Structures are given as C-alpha cells and as structure tokens.
Chain A
Amino acid sequence: MTTSTTRPASDYPPGGDAFRHRHLIGIAQLTPWEISYVLDAAEEWVDLNRSGAAKHDDRLAGLTIINAFFENSTRTLLSFEIAGKRLGADVVNMHAAQSSVKKGETLIDTAMTLNAMRADAMVIRHGSSGAVQLIADKVDCPVLNAGDGRHEHPTQALLDALTIRRRLGRVEGLTIAICGDVLHSRVARSNILALTLLGNEVRIVAPPTLTPPAIDRMHVTTFTDMDEGLKDADVVMMLRLQNERMDGAYLPSAREYHALYGLTPKRLEKAKPDAIIMHPGPMNRGVEIDSSVADHPTRSTITEQVEMGVAVRMACLDILTRRQRGVAGWN
C-alpha cells in the first residue's frame, strides 16, 4: 500500500489561493490542483482517524454545522456527522421527513430559516439536480453538496480518488471502468469529472437504457458489453442499481441485469490482475456485484472508501471554514 503521494505544501498556491471556492457544489468547478490539495489534506485526517482512542482535533470548536438532508441517507449523513464532530464542531442533523418541508415550505424558505440560525456551514442533500446550488446562492455560509439529484456528489468523487491514489500509488494515467446505472447517478457524474480531470482514461459500461445521452462529450468511452469495457482496467467502479430501475422500464429484471452487467469473478478476470474493485454503497449483492467480489480480501476497497469518506469530509469542512475562522492567508 502506497501513501507517499502527498505533495509538499510549497507546491500549492499560498493560503486561500489553493482552494478558491466558498462552497463545494461540484467537481465541475474544481481544478486538478484543488482536487489534489483536498486529497493531501485528507491524508492527515486518515492518520488521525487511525490514531487510536482520541480521534479529536478541535479546530472547528464553536462552529455550528447543519446537515440538511432532504433525501434519505444513512452513510453519507453519518460520515459528515462524524467528520464534523471529530473536528469539534456542533453538528445538527435535519431530516426532511421531520421538517417543515413536508408542510409545503419552499426550499428557499427552509434555507433562509437555516441561515437565520447562523450555521457556519451547511451540508445539503436534495433529490433535485441544482437544488444545492440554489440554496448556496441564498445563504451566508459555505455549502457542501452531499448529493443533488443526478447532478453531483463531489465528496464521493474525492473519497474515491483518494482511495485509488492510496491503493495504486497514483490517480492519473489509469484505466477506470465505471459500471452500471450511469444515467441516474450523481456519483458517476462527479467521478467522471474528477477522474478525467486528473488524467485517467474513463470508460462507461452500462446498458443503453442507462447510458446518459451525449455522455461521450464528457471525455469518456462507452461500452454496452461489460467484458470489453473491463478489459485491462486498473479500477472497476460499480454503481448502485436502484430497485425501481429493475421493474421493466429500464431493465427487464434483476437476474437479467446480473447476467449481463453483474460483476462476477469470471468477468473480473478481464480487468488487470491487480485491479481494485470499488462500490459507493449500499450494495445489491447478487445483482450488480457478487459477494465473492465485493468481499475480496485484497482487491475490494469498499470499506476503505467509507473510511476515506470521513477523512475527505473532514478536509472539506476544514478548508471551507478557514475564512470564518480567520486562518492566516484565507480572507
């Protein structure tokens, strides 16, 4: 396992010029060096998180972070909550189910309400593409996108890039196959943007019904044959298939999907012998991925991705709150 890919701080522009954004809405707004800056920052947090009993750094002490999730989530919400708490912030979670959203309040009104409570950062997930941007335009604090519709899920792409970099020693010049329901996937979009930006060959492997139109304009090659798409890949990234896609509208059935697009040990042989296996979770075992592949002791990175998620989110929360905290150089 390689971990020594961090650059020295002197490689980056000084202070706030290293990451010139008030919000983290998407990978689309980032430069390659900004991505690399976040990944390097996250490496430190990986070390802290592994350091034993006292996993605390109180640099965000006194700050309030609101996790506003308008769409159900367990792992991303938990990951952001732990990240905020490990940095000493006061973290509050708001679930749409128990909020006034259900009473017909508009999204903007909800955002203004949260804003009036003087959050120092907001982490937002919403089922509609563009919703997080809409909120970010109206509030006074940094906003982190925890997933908006099919649009972006930037921290997922960052944690995936970090996982790849740590496992393979680099996240450039690799062949990466992203497989499954690309059409409905914000994870796929953010990963395509990040991984192509960093100089990798990105392939999309999906049935035609789940391939977004004009996706080749995002500098990827598309495959409908999974064996071809996996050939000599360094990374096989599986996507979650939502149950409602298997009801006949997009796919005939779960078993047919498994037969054509499931990641089986046999199919995995097409990829490079040391290719890693990724999945953002939660998995449908036996549908898009076989258990023996998902649980592969050396090649599966699925639990490591979860671990990297906390570190990346700590890095993002730290970086985006530096202005409020008056960190030198971050005006």
Chain B
Amino acid sequence: MELKPLLITNAQLIDGDTPRPGSLLVVDGRIAAIDPVDIPAGAETVDAKGQWLAPGIIDLGVFATDKPAFHFGGITRAALMPDAGPLDDPGLVERAAKGGKPDLWVHPLAAATKGLAGKELAEIGLMKSAGARAIATGRSRIADSGVMRRILAYAASLGLVTIIHAEDEGLTAGAVATDGEMATRLGLASAPAIAEAIAIARDLALVEETGAPVHFRQVTTARGLDLIRAAKAKGLPVLCGITPAHLFLSDTAIGDFRTFARLSPPLRSEDDRQACLAAVADGTIDVLSSGHDPRGPEDKRLPFAEALPGMAGAETLLALGLNLVRDGHIAPGRLFDLLAATPACLLGLNAGRLTLGKDADLILVDEGTPWQVDAKRMAAYAGNTPFDGMPVQGRATEMWKGGLRIR
C-alpha cells in the first residue's frame, strides 16, 4: 500500500528543549522535512491545533504486549522483557517481534541466560538475528558473577546492551518491601535499600573490566544513583532508568496492604524518592519507562506478600512524565529524551526524535487535558495501577507509526 505524504501543521514541535510552533512533513513513512516549504501534491494535512507534536514513546521494558494500553498511552514501540516465555530461543524472539503488527512495534529483549535461570548463556547471537534489540536479565539479576561477566563480554561483542535488574538476591530473599517504618508496622518482610547499590556496584565493576554497555532498568535509591553518577563521570558506558512509581510514590503507598503498590523493586523511602527526582533533573537517569505489567485479581487480590509485584503503567506514563515537566524538574524536550530518544539509541532504532530521516512514529499530545486515573476503566487488560484516583493532565490524542495513522 502506497502511503500518502502526511503534513502536520500548526503544531508545537518537541525537537528542542521547549515546544516551538512548526509543521512537519512525512514522506514514505519517514520524516522528510521540518517546517517544509514545498508540499507534495496529494499530501494529507492534519491540523494539530497547537498541540505538541512529539516522537512516539518507546517503552523500554514491558512485561506484556498490551496494545490498547500502549495506544492509549502514545506508545508506538515497546521493548518486551524476556520473562514471559521466557524469550530464550530465536523462534520465540521472532514470534514476539511480530506480536505487535501492524500497528505497534514490539522489540523483544532476549533472555541473557537459558530459561532466565542465570546459569548458561542463551543463544544471544541467533536471537539478535531473529530481532532481539538488546538482552536482559529479567525480573531478577544474575547471581553468579562469573556468568554475568561472560554475558556482558559476549553481548558487547555482538553490539548489544545488557539490561539489568539490580537487587542483591541474598538481601532481598523473601522480602516484599523496603526496610522502614511502614514495612515494620505492617509486619511485612523487608530488605534494606542497599540491596540495590550492592548489585549495581558489582555490575559496574564488571562493566569497567569488560567495557560492555549496560542499562540498569530501574535505579530507585539514593545510593544506587550515586554509584551511577560516579560511573558516568568516569566515562563508563552506563545508562539507567526508572518508572513513574518510584518518582511519585514512596513506601507509604503500601499502607493498608495495597497490593497495586507491590512493585519490584519495592517502593522506597521518601528520601530515596527525592533522590530519584533529583537524578531525573540532573541527567543521571536516562530513561523513563512504564514497566507495564498488567495483573488481574488472581495475582493481586491476595494478601500483600502473596500478591505478585508489578503495575499496569502504560496508560499513565505520559501523563506522569508531564508532571515532571509541570513540577519544573525537566523541560519538555528532556522528557521525550527519557521517553523516546534514549531508548531508541539503546535499542539501535531509527526513531525517537523529530529529525530528518527518522521513522515517522509520531504523537500529538494535548498536554493540558485533565483526566483521572481509574483502575476500573483502564484500556490495559488489568487495572493494577497504584495511581488509582489520581488527577493527571495530558494525553496522546493522535498517533502514527511509520507515517501510518494508528489513532
């Protein structure tokens, strides 16, 4: 099917720090011109009516291919964690990569080890050929330092980033919360927050030795962020990310045993939360993702410690990201670096920015529209959001994938 050229006019382009008025031309699914002078005949014109025109969100590290939620949230590409399956085989990776067609890109993250068991190397090279864009350790880290060292070196030789979950399994065994007053009052088994820094410290040493690029999917503590900051200052190839939960909620959210706030890693102290906000502002944190992990009542309507961790986050990712802008932590341009440009770079995608030649994965964002998060009326296939009832602002109103209108 021949795509008609697309002209989006009267938009606020997000191609610098702050939105600026402009228009954008898409030809053959790619961004062909910004503020074009010559408009090809037969181009479809869309009046953005002053809304933000931004790159589609690239959600780095989701646990399910949940198209309605991604479309609601302005997510055009989702990097799928290897846990379901697990994605440790080229065939599974190939199938997962096709799971979003035609209106969503799914980029599988290959399991670093067979069965995600942390013991033997998976067929990383073959999975790369099958479409894997990076490898990941899954929901837990690789306990064996020798295995981890070999994986990092091997993945790096194939040009793949290793995406790491950073929690020390000895300290976190059996824990469902972070040490602190809340966990103690509720009588929940908890682990010290340093479980994260300890895991990060080991892997940073391995990065320093192997030179392998890594991405810590979620760094949620002050001490963990300090280590990342220092590693970056040293010039190590390290990126890190976070989800809105750890930026907007502290462990007080688990009061009343709210299982929707049972997350991995668990919610942290208010001091750690403030450190995370500061790290977003100062550039230590590179990626903002949803960690989308929809779970129904069979997984969540249970006693807290028996419930599974995870939250449905795809629909609230953009609105909560806009909170960071409104609260003055970051500029709009930086928000879309966190949501799209950096994830694209990490995954080696020709997308994530409004620059010439990039795939025209685009969203229009009405950044001011108020709405309320409602766990009972989510597009996701489960409404396990810890932000239930929260008033937010801003949503994606229209989106295109490779110049093709999705909504």
Using known A-B contacts A213-B179, A217-B181, determine if residue A151 contacts B302 with beta carbons closer than 8 Å.
no
| Of B50-58, B68-76, B184-192, the one with at least 4 CB within 8 A of chain A | B184-192
CB atoms of B303 and A126 under 8 A apart: yes
CB atoms of A106 and B301 under 8 A apart: yes
CB atoms of A128 and B304 under 8 A apart: yes
Complex CA gap A213/B191 in Å reads: 9
Q: Scan residues 152-190 of chain B and give those whose CB is less than 8 A from a CB of chain A.
A: 179-181, 183-190
B120 in contact (CB, < 8 A): no
Using known A-B contacts A106-B301, A129-B257, A129-B305, determine if residue A213 contacts B192 with beta carbons closer than 8 Å.
yes
| A133 partner residues in chain B, CB cutoff 8 A | 256-257
B374 in contact (CB, < 8 A): no
Using known A-B contacts A213-B184, A218-B184, determine if residue A106 contacts B298 with beta carbons closer than 8 Å.
yes
Which of the residues B187, B297, B298, B306 comes within 8 Å of A150, measured between beta carbons? B187
| A107 partner residues in chain B, CB cutoff 8 A | 302-303
The size of the chain A interface, using a CB distance under 8 A, is: 24
Complex CA gap A214/B297 in Å reads: 32
Q: Using CB atoms, name the residue of chain A closest to B298.
A: A106
CB atoms of B302 and A28 under 8 A apart: no
Q: Most B CB atoms within 10 A — which of A130, A148, A186?
A: A130
A212 in contact (CB, < 8 A): yes
CB atoms of B190 and A213 under 8 A apart: yes
Interface residues on B, range: 20 to 34
CB atoms of B185 and A218 under 8 A apart: yes
| A148 partner residues in chain B, CB cutoff 8 A | 187, 303
CB atoms of A214 and B184 under 8 A apart: yes
Q: Scan residues 50-95 of chain B and give those whose CB is less than 8 A from a CB of chain A.
A: none
Quote the shortest CB–CB distance from B366 to chain A (angstroms): 37
Which of the residues A129, A134, A214 comes within 8 Å of B187, measured between beta carbons? A129
- A-B pairs under 8 A by CB, number: 70
Q: Using CB atoms, name the residue of chain A closest to B192.
A: A213
Quote the shortest CB–CB distance from A320 to chain B (angstroms): 20
Q: Using CB atoms, name the residue of chain B closest to A127.
A: B303
| B187 partner residues in chain A, CB cutoff 8 A | 129, 148-152, 186, 189
Q: Scan residues 219-256 of chain B and give those whose CB is less than 8 A from a CB of chain A.
A: 256
Complex CA gap A82/B65 in Å reads: 55
Q: Scan residues 287-324 of chain B and give those whose CB is less than 8 A from a CB of chain A.
A: 297-298, 301-306
Q: Mark A109-134, 1 if CB is under 8 A from B, else 0.
A: 00000000000000000101111011
CB atoms of B180 and A130 under 8 A apart: no
Q: Using CB atoms, name the residue of chain A closest to B301.
A: A108
Q: Using CB atoms, name the residue of chain A closest to B179.
A: A213
| B298 partner residues in chain A, CB cutoff 8 A | 106
Complex CA gap A133/B305 in Å reads: 13
CB atoms of B303 and A149 under 8 A apart: yes
A46 in contact (CB, < 8 A): no
Using known A-B contacts A128-B305, A129-B303, A133-B256, determine if residue A150 contacts B179 with beta carbons closer than 8 Å.
no
CB atoms of A130 and B257 under 8 A apart: yes
| A106 partner residues in chain B, CB cutoff 8 A | 298, 301-302
| B185 partner residues in chain A, CB cutoff 8 A | 28, 189, 217-218
Q: Mark A145-157, 1 if CB is under 8 A from B, else 0.
A: 0001111100000
Quote the shortest CB–CB distance from B269 to chain A (angstroms): 9
Complex CA gap A152/B188 in Å reads: 11
| A150 partner residues in chain B, CB cutoff 8 A | 187-189
A215 in contact (CB, < 8 A): yes
| B256 partner residues in chain A, CB cutoff 8 A | 133
Task: Give 7 CB contacts A-B under 8 Å.
Answer: A129-B304, A130-B186, A130-B257, A133-B256, A149-B305, A213-B184, A213-B192
Using CB atoms and an 8 Å cutoff, list the residues of chain A in contact with chain B.
28, 106-108, 126, 128-131, 133-134, 148-152, 186, 189, 212-215, 217-218
Besides A212-B184, A218-B185, 5 more A-B contacts (Cβ < 8 Å) are A129-B305, A130-B186, A130-B304, A131-B303, A213-B190
8 closest pairs, A vs B, by CB? A130-B257, A150-B187, A151-B187, A128-B303, A213-B179, A217-B181, A131-B303, A129-B187
